[in-house]
Amino acid sequence: MGQGEMHLRVIAERLQERFGVAVETAKPTIAYRETIRDTVTVRGRHKKQSGGHGQFGDVVVEVGPRERGEGFAFSERVHGGTVPRQYFRRSRWARATP
């Protein structure tokens, strides 16, 4: 595997000199391009309840088609959740509240 054009050229020359192997090089072609046609939703969950408060995470990923030329759109939504007490005590907001 080469890291660049010069690297590949050096390897091809070494193969020719040492082993007499002729190497033909060409730019790689894309076998196919995938088109997103329907909206798909996938959910992943993380649960670790091994004593103490435990951990829980629920992630929903939705991938769907967009109009040509619109590019990518990323959004992030947080629902519920709490901040552990030990993190709240150390923060600057903890000083502002009695």
| Residue range 1-30, pLDDT digits in tens | 567 888 988 999 999 999 998 888 888 888
> Which DSSP letter does residue 91 get?
S
Asked if 62 and 39 touch (Cβ cutoff 8 Å), the reply is yes
pTM: 0.42
CA distance linking residue 53 with residue 83, whole number of Å: 12
As given in the structure block, the two tokens for residue 43 are: 């959910």
CA distance linking residue 85 with residue 74, whole number of Å: 31
Task: Return the H-helix or E-strand segment holding 80.
Answer: none
In tens, the pLDDT along 72-91 reads 888 877 766 665 555 555 55
**Amino acid at position 35, single letter:** T
